[in-house]
Amino acid sequence: MDLRTIPTWPVAAGSLLLGFGVAELTGVRAIGGVVLFLGALWCGLRWKELRGLAVAISLVVFFLFLFAISHVLGHQIGAWPSVFVVSAAMAVTTWVAADRDEAPPTVDYV
């Protein structure tokens, strides 16, 4: 399996979900942080390859912003709902900014 064919949106969103789940399950937040770090690192490197450094940095900053916002939002709607909301936001944003392939325009000659 070529890792370059894997879209980044499920990895970015999934690492937010999995990172929180691991932290909750183990009771060790640092282990969840390792999951987040590895997911963001892999995605950041792929985003740089796919769309360039500016997009990669922007998406990593957005990932970190959502991670921080999930804590604030968690006080309002609960921890798991908050993580689902920010993961969905990351998935959509990543798909639009990095993974969506725009089809070339078609021309009808008939």
The average pLDDT across 5-14 equals 95
What backbone phi and psi angles, to 5 degrees, belong to 17?
-65, -50
Q: What is the pLDDT of residues 10-40, one digit of tens each?
A: 999 999 999 999 999 999 999 999 999 999 9
Residues of the chain with pLDDT > 70, as a percent, come to: 89
Distance CA 63, CA 10 (A): 13
pLDDT band per the 50, 70, 90 thresholds, residue 103? very low
pLDDT higher than 70, residue 59: yes
Q: Mean pLDDT across the stretch 58-65?
A: 98
Task: Please say if the pLDDT value at position 109 is more than 70.
Answer: no
Angle at CA 51, nearest 5°, toward 37 and 48? 35
Mind spelling out the 3-state secondary structure of 6-70?
A: CCCHHHHHHHHHHHHHHHHHHCCHHHHHHHHHHHHHHHHHHHHHHHCHHHHHHHHHHHHHHHHHH
